[in-house]
Amino acid sequence: MSDRYAVIGNPVAHSRSPAIHAEFARATGQDIDYGRIEAPLDAFAPAVERFRLSGGKGLNVTLPFKHEAFQLCARRSERALLAQAVNTIRFDDSYGDNTDGIGLIRDFSQNVKLPLNGKSVLLLGAGGAAQGVVGALLEAGVARLVIANRTVAKAKALAARFPGASACGYDALGSEGFDIVINATSAGLAGAAPPLPDGMLNKSTLAYDMVYGRDTPFLAAARKAGARASDGLGMLVEQAAESFFLWRGVRPATQPVLAKLRGS
Ligand code: NAP
């Protein structure tokens, strides 16, 4: 029988992870079966336990459960400890890791092809996705990192864990420009966008939305303002490759899978 894995979240129907892992398995000759689990918002841990007891080998965790996943794992990688969020669980040794940060960094270097070193970055959101990338962005050498979130206290608590990051609410964002604006909110899933001041997105900005598979209002506004725009599909494929490596000890090639998903 194939080794079983899944992505767990709520909502999860939009996830492309099953298709990505099926491609990785085919390309590397690994015998895995990868599904989707929608966990009730108030019953994440029982859903994880059910999958484990039914023989599951590991899980990817998506919104809004990454912090709960962090709390569930007995052992955690250094990057998961920094993020206090887990997106990859390996059941054999109850190990939790966070591959979002490395996924974002690899997408910038290999697909977006924009060096992060020395750039000023505005990160929108303070949920599981934002928590996973702050450490990696600072490590990549960004010159300035501001975190803005609707619930300002969450942004401040996140920035307080990382020397080099600062935080504010959307209404406190002034006329200061940023080289890169990364939307790590889930607003796009509901057809909304974080409220940015006029002029924040312009011809010299790279606007990056972690949401993928739809044209979000954030990306549409960026293009209208003449900014370069990128969705989060590359990050998804890169973080998935790192999860696959953690589970299977084999590193799949990402470019062919990304090209296939983009239909090119
Ligand atoms: P989460 O933990 O539920 O956090 C959601 C975040 O979005 C919070 O900061 C929340 O603000 C903010 N938000 C929600 N609706 C908003 C709105 N209408 N206006 C402004 N802010 C809003 O979710 P997550 O795990 O961080 O995931 C966030 C998004 O990133 C999801 O869409 C997910 O699919 C995507 N993602 C993509 C990848 C990838 O590989 N491409 C990886 C990870 C995540 P409050 O704190 O004020 O509620």
Q: What pLDDT sits at residue 174?
A: 86
To the nearest whole percent, how much of the chain has pLDDT over 70? 100
Q: What pLDDT sits at residue 34?
A: 98
CA of 200 relative to ligand 1 center, distance in Å: 20
Pocket lining for ligand 1, CB < 6 angstroms: 63-64, 66, 100, 103, 125-130, 149-151, 154, 184-187, 189, 192, 194, 210-212, 232, 235-236, 239
Q: What does pLDDT average to over the chain? A: 97
Average pLDDT over residues 189-193: 95
**Looking at ligand 1, which residue's alpha carbon is closest to its atom 37?**
210
**Looking at ligand 1, which residue's alpha carbon is closest to its atom 23?**
63
**Looking at ligand 1, which residue's alpha carbon is closest to its atom 13?**
185
Query: How does pLDDT run across 39-85, given as a tens digit for each residue?
Result: 999 999 999 999 999 999 999 999 999 999 999 999 999 999 999 99
Q: First and final CA of the chain: distance in angstroms?
A: 33
pLDDT confidence bin for 248, thresholds 50/70/90: very high
Q: What pLDDT sits at residue 198?
A: 93
CA of 114 relative to ligand 1 center, distance in Å: 23
pLDDT confidence bin for 260, thresholds 50/70/90: very high
CA of 62 relative to ligand 1 center, distance in Å: 10
Q: What pLDDT sits at residue 14?
A: 87
Amino acid at 36: R
pLDDT confidence bin for 135, thresholds 50/70/90: very high
Atom of ligand 1 at shortest range from CA of 64? 3
Q: Which of 66, 119, 156, 203 is catalytic?
A: 66
Atom of ligand 1 at shortest range from CA of 66? 25
Atom of ligand 1 at shortest range from CA of 14? 34
Per the annotation, the verdict on 66 as an active-site residue is yes
What is the DSSP secondary-structure string of the chain?
-PEEEEEEESS-TT--HHHHHHHHHHHHT--EEEEEEE--TT-HHHHHHHHHHTT--EEEE-TT-HHHHHHH-SEE-HHHHHHT--SEEETTTTEEE--HHHHHHHIIIIII----TT-EEEEE--SHHHHHHHHHHHHTT-SEEEEE-SSHHHHHHHHHTSTTEEEE-GGG--S---SEEEE-SSGGGGT----PPTTSS-TTPEEEES--SS--HHHHHHHHTT-EEE-SHHHHHHHHHHHHHHHHS----SHHHHHHHTT-
Query: How does pLDDT run across 148-186, given as a tens digit for each residue?
Result: 999 999 999 999 999 999 999 999 998 889 999 999 999
Its pTM stands at 0.96
